Amino acid sequence: MAGRNVEKKASIDAQLRQLVPAKVSEDDKLIEYDALLLDRFLDILQDLHGEDLRETVQELYELSAEYEAKREPKKLEELGKVLTSLDAGDSIVISKAFSHMLNLANLAEEVQIAYRRRIKKLKKGDFVDESSAATESDIEETFKRLVSDLGKSPEEIFDALKNQTVDLVLTAHPTQSVRRSLLQKHGRIRDCLSQLYAKDITPDDKQELDESLQREIQAAFRTDEIKRTPPTPQDEMRAGMSYFHETIWNGVPKFLRRVDTALKNIGIDERVPYNAPLIQFSSWMGGDRDGNPRVTPEVTRDVCLLARMMAANLYYNQIENLMFELSMWRCTDEFRAKADEIHRHSRKDAAKHYIEFWKTIPPTEPYRVVLGDVRDKLYHTRERSRQLLSNGTSDIPEEATFTDVEHFLEPLELCYRSLCSSGDRPIADGTLLDFLRQVSTFGLSLVRLDIRQESERHTDVLDAITKHLNIGSSYRDWSEERRQEWLLAELRGKRPLFGPDLPKTEEIADVLDTFKVISELPSDCFGAYIISMATSPSDVLAVELLQRECHVKKPLRVVPLFEKLADLEAAPAAVSRLFSIDWYKNRINGKQEVMIGYSDSGKDAGRLSAAWELYKAQEELVKVAKKYGVKLTMFHGRGGTVGRGGGPTHLAILSQPPDTVNGSFRVTVQGEVIEQSFGEEHLCFRTLQRYTAATLEHGMNPPVSPKPEWRALLDAMAVVATEEYRSVVFQEPRFVEYFRLATPELEYGRMNIGSRPSKRKPSGGIESLRAIPWIFAWTQTRFHLPVWLGFGAAFKYAIKKDVRNLHMLQDMYKHWPFFRVTIDLIEMVFAKGDPGIAALYDKLLVSKDLWAFGEKLRTNYEETKSLVLQTAGHRDLLEGDPYLKQRLRLRDSYITTLNVCQAYTLKRIRDQNYNVTLRPHISKEIMQSSKSAQELVKLNPKSEYAPGLEDTLILTMKGIAAGLQNTG
């Protein structure tokens, strides 16, 4: 038996080595890492469920590998036969095992990428996967390149850097399909694997690490992957905020120290000022109410108070370390006077609840006296937020707390100045500087919460007000001119528009109560007020008026969001009309933010047309802003997947049109991208570095503008691409039927990964479906239709019109960053795709009279792929990126097993007459009293499907999302 085990183990290892290309380079340890994790897991699987189950996993893996080698459809049927013969408990264990193996493969990749980065052998310009991009913007190298290659002076770089801002906006988009419990275990597996390969490891360390690794792999496998209840917006906010205390909080000062070092190395002997707004954080969690009825005014209030409590707690936990550090007695006269005043007013018994420095601090330790007062205020700030959150009231007076960040900074700045003046600058530039930088970055609210609401909801409120005031016909029926005229008259006037007697529907009360919450909470809780589906100046003026009516003391900046293709085209004219209104121009003080949506524009017109329209809209918006003397900040609503605007960060920034970043870049970080960006300390550092370096480089070395003939060609191609995309998605009479049959779109909601519904309106077709489930469904079947549909027709049109256009397209690919990034991302999506898998879904799930339609789409897929390769000048997909190619091939066999399992599970769910022959139960439990495979079936007792089917389906969805490193 032992010999057989070794043989089996060797076979899966051999299969891996056969499947994956040879080492890509000397520093390539990916196969080694992956094989180690896989061996450990298969041993655990055998210990828990017996040898037969392990052998079944290996059999499935090998069948998948054989399919991947030759892409023979009959191998998929063989896989299907094995998978459908499993009983409910075994089916869950096997889908869970493959999902787990994909997560382990991802962890092996992350450790390999970190290893290659550490040994500094990373090729510049590697183009890779959006989630684990090895594409890099190293801050020090960026500085040196700007100085040596572009002739910029160190002073110019320092000046630009001090004045630039990157604002990362964390959103709760439901694309993170991995539970937090598992993410933490994955982090520990990653750490163990990294340490196991450290050079200075002792045999004892190795043994202990190996035990830890096995323990964590088993703990992750034994954790239920499925969220049994949907998260609330408060859950989403807590999950998002957990990244602050885990990595971001300490990551920001650590990153800013590296910027200081990089500046020193180009001859700048100054540090980045602590109040330079290099990195800012905002959030939509608990503020984004667009189409999510679960985000109520109460939720918004709760998340703001929770964030304030968390911020005060983080500062409070650090202040005693600072008190220990600043034990000096030399200080300036100004500082001593401040310390003496605090000492005189301090109560003898006021500090008994503190662990350290609980007795009255003597005046001979002036820094500790002043910081002790800061600690008292932080304690009260935290407790007041806690009480308000729990009870709605607090017995702690507001004056005992910090209410604005200036009051918080004042004593800290005083400490800093005093230390510097007393000859202790090196001490001032230690922990105190880090603390000052944290206060400048996170303020008292940790993040600023954006509010997002649909423009129609504001129209409803104003309609109710005008009807109540009996002003002619209803506001909803007025022309844009009349709306503007009335809104401006009210904004210039003083009269209140409505009182408590205004008749309100539930929806109207919700909008007004949200403004009431904004008026009651400290203004530094909030960032922007974003209006989705904004089309005209009155949409913006309406929010300005409602803020005034609801007594918002410091009105939020109002940001129109343009999403659909037609809205993007009309955006420059709408913004120009807005800037031409004197009242508004005076209100904004020379600054305006405009948000552009990547997801809905892609769903509306296809990726090519959306990308080009987003590019042109930004160019035009910048021209309009310049004309009116307004500094424009573009807010990019990008998702994680290519279909929703995703892609490697620094390439995405460097391919923006010239003059559109201008030292100010705001972008959403959504769902699974938050974990990929901030899940580990080194990832957090890399993310901050990438955004900062690319934003600086874009401003100091803007990308080339496209030639007029490139524009003309792309304009014509975009028209063709939109026509083809819409003719299939919106005009093909049976497309919606085909989409719902051929993908797991209808089952998406069962994953419980987000608080918001998957549709804006319960009824309705593709138009009302949100972009995430739309992309998710096509990603699951590895067909990725929304990403590539339209490209093929556009390329064919261009080449047919003039054969020389192929050379022009190749020229555009070589010399225009925007076009290159667009094509490279499509190529990467094709590398992740497999029309053979999509064909299996069609065969099993789609009615026969629609098979020809699916076949036609797959032919289009193949034609588009070859045209993309021609344009890029590549013979094979990803020939320029062997590392990504290797990683995708490594994951393919796992994903294929899950795809086949998903397709057959959907068949069994949807077709009651589909019969399968089950073989005897194969999972053997180590503890006979506990039938854990059977117990798994009982985790979902309320499923409307046959036992085990729903959980098997959800596990395949999660596994495929992990394997493709994309959810939606």
Active site residues: 173, 603
Name 596's bridge partners. 562, 636
Instruction: Report the Cα 354 to chain-centroid distance in Å.
Output: 39
* Tokens standing for residue 598: 């990547």
Phi, psi (deg, nearest 5) at residue 382: -65, -50
Tokens found for residue 360 = 């009255």
Q: Say how far apart CA 129 and CA 805 lie, in whole Å.
A: 29
H-only helix segments in 521-646? 537-549, 565-579, 582-588, 598-605, 607-627
Amino acid at position 889, single letter: R
Radius of gyration of the chain from Cα atoms?
A: 29
Phi, psi at residue 666, to the nearest 5°? -120, 135
Give the integer Cα–Cα distance in Å for 208 and 190: 15
What is the distance between the terminal CA atoms of the chain, rounded to a whole angstrom? 45
DSSP, res 12:
H
Distance from C-alpha of 351 to C-alpha of 363, rounded to nearest angstrom: 16
**What is the spatial distance between Cα 679 and Cα 689, in angstroms, rounded to a whole number?**
15
Q: Alpha-carbon distance 316 to 377, whole Å?
A: 9
Q: Say if residues 278 and 692 touch (Cβ distance below 8 Å).
A: yes
**DSSP-derived 3-state class of residue 606:** coil
Q: Which two tokens stand for residue 906?
A: 């959907």
- Please give the angle made by the CA atoms of 952, 954 and 956, to the nearest 5 degrees: 70
What DSSP assignment string belongs to 243-311? HIIIIIHHHHHHHHHHHHHHHHTTT--SPPPTT--SEEEEE-TTTB-TT-TT--HHHHHHHHHHHHHHH
User: Tokens standing for 325?
Assistant: 């550090």
Instruction: Say if strands 165-171 and 557-562 run parallel, antiparallel, or are unpaired.
Output: unpaired
Looking at residue 432, the DSSP 8-state letter turns out to be I
Closest to 440 measured CA to CA, from 313, 589, 272, 555: 272
Side-chain-side CA neighbours of residue 486 (13 Å): 21
d(CA 38, CA 40): 5
H/E element, 531: strand 526-532
142 close to 164: Cβ distance less than 8 angstroms: no
Question: How far is residue 477's CA from residue 895's CA, in Å, rounded to a whole number?
Answer: 53
Torsions phi, psi for 641 (to 5 deg): -85, 160
The secondary structure element, H or E, covering residue 211 is: helix 203-221
- Residue 539 tokens read as 């949409």
Q: In the Cβ-directed half-sphere of 551, how many Cα atoms lie within 13 Å? A: 9
The phi, psi pair for 966, rounded to 5°, reads -150, 140
Tokens matching residue 124: 């510049």
Question: Closest Cα to residue 258, out of 271, 247, 245, 267?
Answer: 271
Residues in the chain: 968
> If DSSP codes are grouped into helix, strand and coil, which group holds residue 21?
coil
Strand 557-562, strand 526-532: pairing: parallel
Collapsed DSSP state (helix, strand, coil) of residue 916: coil
